[in-house]
Structure 1
Amino acid sequence: MSKKEGRKRGKREGKKPPRPPPPSSSSSSASSQLSGENSSGHTSPPVCTLLTVGQAFSGTQNVSSLQKDEAWRVNVRIQGCNLDHGYLCGTMEALNVPMADTPVVTFWEGEIVDGKNYTFYTGKWEASSEDDIRHWTKFPSFQPFLEQVKVDGGKSLDLINYPYIFMRWKEQYFVNVGTDCGLTIAGFYYVCFSCTDGSINGFYYDPNSSPFQKLELKSTNEGRSGFSFSFYELQ
């Protein structure tokens, strides 16, 4: 989420029950990631014990603008995850948003870049392939894949043993506030998740918001909640 700046063309953001994920179903050198034309390029990303339903993360999102330095404290919890379908979802809570009287909670759905269900090219949400490359290259762990992504979006990359998982998170609606809260969820996050330590780095993209708002999260050990079956509910 971001502060509203200028014209916004976000979708209708009413509260509604989350839709279920699809039916349910982690280090190597960069040179081993190219799979060519065989089916090994169409495998799920690495199974990671820190990317599971109920796992919580805490950190900050830098929302600074030319006029003001500002960062929000952010909590994220995964509510659903299906690696076979490249899907996950969860909630995001921003705690110290100046224009809100209470913490602001949103529900988001994610696309896992696996070469089968989703590639590094977004193809929607007003993001061009140039926007994609510009954001993905901000992650050092993406650099080994740059040239191949330029060729086919990463369809021929085998990410099964790579220690990082790349994702996009798109907030779908506000959970506890109205659309007049002074925030927008018209954009989405480019996300890089470390299977080694559970850290998350991301950059928010919205043509009408301050560019490259950085999301930095670390996994926490608080109690888990959520469902990993073919349905789930917010806790």
Structure 2
Amino acid sequence: MPSRTSPPSCTLLSVGQAFVGTQNVDHSGAMKEERWTVHVRIQGCDLRHGTLCGSMEALNVPAAESSVVTFWEGEIIDNINHTFFTEDWANPDTDLKHWSRFPSFAPLREAVNRDGGKGIDLARHSHVYMRWKEKFFVNVGPDCGLTIAGFYYLCFSRVDGTIRGFYYDPNSSPYQQLELRATTEGRNGHSFGCYEFR
């Protein structure tokens, strides 16, 4: 079995980094698609233990009177601390269906299908795979019109700093797509809403 190391540090996947983009929600049957503006800020990142956390702000959500801010915790798929199989939140079939929606995952699929991809060294891969689970609402109550019962499958490109993801919750619209790009916000004098987590 090849030796495995944690993914090398990346300035675009570090504390303070901001991302901006959209989440598309297709309400099948309602012939209606919602597109929310989303801001993400990484608050913590520990590559050695394969964890990260941050805040996510969703704007222009029809059911909410204001923007909705959540705090999330994430797992970095490194085959040391976390594998492609979720275990707690989804089954292996659901995992494979979601990971397979990322083109960069195609060369890894067979190995992951066989044994979870435990033998794959992801340290030098062009993409970093993650799961983000929203833990609580920061600025609104749970009756804000959004749910945080599910979690995100995510693929971060080391090349251009983009993140593409899919939200999974068996009780919500399937394959809600999240698309984010890294910004220089907060790193050159711009500001981002600051929230204190207790």
Code of the residue aligned with 1:189 in structure 2: it is Y
1:82 to 2:46 alignment: yes
Code of the residue aligned with 1:179 in structure 2: it is P
Specify the alignment match of 2:149 in structure 1: 186
1:215 to 2:172 alignment: no
Identity %: 64
TM-superposed CA distance for 1:121, in Å, is 0.2
TM-superposed CA distance for 1:46, in Å, is 2.8
Specify the alignment match of 2:84 in structure 1: 120
Code of the residue aligned with 2:152 in structure 1: it is Y
Taking the aligned partners of 1:77 and 1:224, their CA distance within structure 2 comes to 12
Runs of 4+ residues over 3 Å off in structure 1: none
Q: TM-score, normalised by structure 1?
A: 0.78
8 Å contact kept, 1:56–1:78: yes
TM-superposed CA distance for 1:61, in Å, is 0.2
Consecutive unaligned residues of structure 2, counting only runs of 5 or more, are 189-195
Taking the aligned partners of 2:7 and 2:100, their CA distance within structure 1 comes to 20
Taking the aligned partners of 1:91 and 1:52, their CA distance within structure 2 comes to 13
- Please state whether the residue corresponding to 2:33 is helix, strand or coil: coil
Code of the residue aligned with 1:106 in structure 2: it is T
Specify the alignment match of 2:27 in structure 1: 65
Code of the residue aligned with 1:187 in structure 2: it is G
Q: Whose strand proportion is higher, 1 or 2?
A: 2
Higher RCO (CA < 8 A, seq sep 6+): 1
Code of the residue aligned with 1:171 in structure 2: it is E
Taking the aligned partners of 2:22 and 2:68, their CA distance within structure 1 comes to 14
Code of the residue aligned with 1:51 in structure 2: it is L
1:198 to 2:161 alignment: yes
Specify the alignment match of 1:141 in structure 2: 104
Specify the alignment match of 1:30 in structure 2: none
- Please state whether the residue corresponding to 2:26 is helix, strand or coil: coil
Number of corresponding residues: 188
Q: TM-score, normalised by structure 2?
A: 0.92
Specify the alignment match of 1:51 in structure 2: 13
What is the RMSD computed on CA atoms of the aligned residues? 1.3
TM-superposed CA distance for 1:224, in Å, is 4.2
Per-residue CA distance 1:98-153 (angstroms, 9 max, x = gap): 1111100000000000000000000012x110000000000000011001001111
Equivalent residues in 2 for 1:215-234 (5 A)? 215-224=178-187
8 Å contact kept, 1:46–1:163: no
Consecutive unaligned residues of structure 1, counting only runs of 5 or more, are 1-36, 226-232
